[in-house]
Amino acid sequence: MRTETDALGAVRIPKRALYGIQSRRARDNFALAEYRPVNLNLVRAMAKVKKAAALTHAELEPGRAAVFNAVAAAADAVLDGAAAEMFIVPALQGGAGTSTNMNVNEVLANLALVGLGFEPGNYARVHPIDDVNRGQSTNDVYPTALRIAAVDLLRELSEEAASLQEALQRRENELQDVVKLGRTELMDAVPVTLGGEFGAWAQAVARDRWRLYKMEERLRQVNIGGTAVGLSPLSERRYRFGVIERLREICGIGLAASEYPMDVTQNNDVFCEVSGLLKALAVNLAKIAGDLRLMGSGPAGGLGEIRLAPLQMGSTFMPGKVNPVVPELALSASMKVMANDLAVTVAASRGEFELNAFLPVIAEALLESLEILRDVTRIFRVRCIETLAPDPERCRALLEGSMAFAAAYWPQLGYERVAAAVRLAEGDPARAREALEAALKAGCGPDAPGGADLPGVQGEPDEVQGEPGGGRGEPDGVQGEPGGGQGGPGVGQGDWRARRHLLSGRSVRVRTAALRRMPSGAGFSRQAASSLGLAFDPRQTEISSGALRPPSRRVLRPPRSCPARTDSPPEPWHGQGHGIFMALAFPRFRTSRTSRNSFRWRYVRGDCQHPGAWSPSGATRYVYVPRDVMIIPMYRDRTLRILLQWADCSLPS
């Protein structure tokens, strides 16, 4: 044993121990049931700071260069993993980190003494404060070291997040053909693909990668050289500039001296920001893990849409049971990160005046969150995402046994009618589908009389009834129906019922190749198909081209008193119930990668009121469109392209 003394008295320490009296006092004072010692990432970052300071002082004080070089060599030994067991101060401590700083000072001093050929504790040769801590204070060393440790762990976490995103994207491509039942609030919704769900998760992780990248910028400003309160008392100017240069070289991080060191010394909101972004990643991991845990439930009594790799025994009572242990690990780790975020928030709020005494709490919680997320992200990718397997048959069985198809019918039949069919089917999808198909064949629409009554199967409703009176044939040969079917309200009234009487008494059954890929789902109705001259069949998954002749341009031409198109705002034209002008603006720059031509558009009705100078000169076309043509928002780009072709408008490049 050896005896060390300070102003408070003497303490006996093991002879070969590399820590000293201050470290031993701290361990005894903060003995929380063998609570774990200071995070070694923080210790290594502090050793980097000590090395940079020692090398700077070796240049400034050549007479003591041998001592400072020995301290720098001791710091290298700590960075290589030596003396890890000598850092004995608990992570939770009082004193704003002074105990941790002194633990590092004493270990480095004793390692330097051993390197110079002296016994540990011979502080007359190398002193923990006068030499190792020269020009420094805990209040600038500790915050600087914490930022360095956080950046190092952030970079490791960023690599793991990138690998997880890539794994999710690979599974997205592999599983894009597996159709399954989508769910909202755990209830049946509409069909989705398993690959689409993985793609959504990949997007969430991609946002986390961007947040991790931006976090490093927040942590690069350090207050090293600011000493006690950030005002650099007793700190030589050459040392302040020299130590930051050395520290950049040692850490490989673009550190910058804070423009206002007093701010960095006393305010810790930056750690709250970083912890909050880590919590966002934990939230996304918890969401993904929770979804996979539910999708893999069963195998007989749950969803069973995927099969997780069996990793270990699941029960000591139920033989053969296997639990989703990796998703549950991800959930548990996410909960811990969220709890640590609260600890960081509370600790950062408890600073007073020029210092925050609870910086060790922030360091412990923040670094633990970084380590947990780094490791759990890797485990989750390797042992869950990359190994799970889909069950396409189970996915299809659940989909076909649901009412997910009903949403595709309500644009044609109306919400209340479809809801009634689903309710009356009493959970039988085949019965509901049969009733909805019968309603379609009977020509029931959302405005048809009879409320939610479901008619029987009748003739095909391909023909659309015209207005009173027959229509004469167009010059290009498209014939109107003789006599006209049942009369209806005038076209100019503008309501849904009036829109059913399309194209002035003619029934057009023309399929066009230009819209062959437009789906006939929830956003494309029978009325919209007829208004564009398309034959509509709700049982088809696409509107295909046929042998019939293409639609007539005459159908879309305005009366003789109104031009088909103009490049300038049209003069007022008071046509009663004839049609509208539509102003199409072509933006100079594309804003969407998924649409080659994104049209900005608005209606100019009746009197053709000019909408104002809202687009660049020469980028607007005013195209006449019959009042009965319906523009469905989700298909408007394709629809407008056809309208432009019919009106002899060329598309911009």
Catalytic: which of 315, 349, 568, 595? 315
| CA 641 – CA 384 distance, rounded (Å) | 46
Place of tokens 């023309």: 510
Closest CA to 272 of 161, 361, 357: 361
CB 604, CB 610: distance < 8 Å: yes
The enclosing H or E element of 7 equals none
Which token pair is 257?
């001296």
User: Which residue type occupies 451?
Assistant: G
- Residue 315 among the catalytic residues: yes
What count of other Cβ atoms lies within 10 Å of the Cβ of residue 346?
A: 14
Closest CA to 219 of 135, 140, 152: 152
> Strand (E) positions, 388-496?
389-390
Closest CA to 132 of 19, 220, 237: 19
> Side-chain half-sphere of 42: how many Cα atoms within 13 Å?
28
Residues 6+ apart with CB under 8 A from 505: 466, 467, 468, 469, 470, 471, 480, 481, 484, 485
| CA 343 – CA 349 distance, rounded (Å) | 10
Identify the burial level of 430 via C-beta atoms within 10 angstroms of its C-beta, where 0-12 means exposed, 13-18 middle and 19 or more buried.
Answer: exposed
Residues 6+ apart with CB under 8 A from 130: none
Could you list the active site residues? 315
